[in-house]
Structure 1
Amino acid sequence: MNLYQKYGVTSLKVVEHAILILITIATIIAIGQEMMHIVNVKRVMLADLLLLFIYLEVLAMVANYAESGKLPIRMPIYIAIVALARYLILDMKGMDDWKIVAISASTLILAATVLVIRYGQLEFPYPRGGKNRRIDNYDDD
Structure 2
Amino acid sequence: MTEQVKWAETLRKKLHGGADSIGNLFVETFHYLALFGIGVVTVYAGISTFIDMLQQPKISVDDILLLFIFLELLAMAGIYFRTNHMPLRFLLYIGVTALIRLLISDVSHHNAPDMGILYVCGGVLLLSVSILVVRFSSSKYPSVKEKAE
Q: Which moved more, 1:88-97 or 1:1-10?
A: 88-97
C-alpha separation in 2, matches of 1:84 and 1:77: 11
Bigger radius of gyration among the two: 2
Give the secondary structure class of the aligned counterpart of 2:148.
Answer: coil
Q: Please report how far the alpha carbon of residue 18 of structure 1 lies from its aligned counterpart in structure 2 after TM superposition.
A: 0.8
Percent of aligned pairs with the same amino acid: 27
C-alpha separation in 1, matches of 2:148 and 2:32: 27
Q: Please report how far the alpha carbon of residue 90 of structure 1 lies from its aligned counterpart in structure 2 after TM superposition.
A: 1.1
Q: Please report how far the alpha carbon of residue 71 of structure 1 lies from its aligned counterpart in structure 2 after TM superposition.
A: 1.9
TM-score by length of 1: 0.83
TM-score by length of 2: 0.79
Q: How many residues align?
A: 130
C-alpha separation in 2, matches of 1:50 and 1:115: 22
After superposition, the Cα gap between the structure-2 partners of 1:15 and 1:101, relative to the gap in structure 1 and judged at 3 Å, is same
Report whether the alignment pairs 1:56 with 2:71. Answer: yes
Give runs of ≥4 in structure 1 deviating > 6 Å: none
Gaps of 5+ in 1: 131-141
C-alpha separation in 2, matches of 1:124 and 1:30: 37
Partner of 1:120: 137
From 66, 84, 87, the equivalent of 1:69 is 84
C-alpha separation in 2, matches of 1:115 and 1:50: 22
Gaps of 5+ in 2: 1-15
Q: What value does the CA root-mean-square deviation take over the aligned residues?
A: 1.9
After superposition, the Cα gap between the structure-2 partners of 1:114 and 1:14, relative to the gap in structure 1 and judged at 3 Å, is same
From 43, 49, 53, the equivalent of 1:34 is 49
Partner of 1:20: 35
C-alpha separation in 1, matches of 2:113 and 2:18: 60
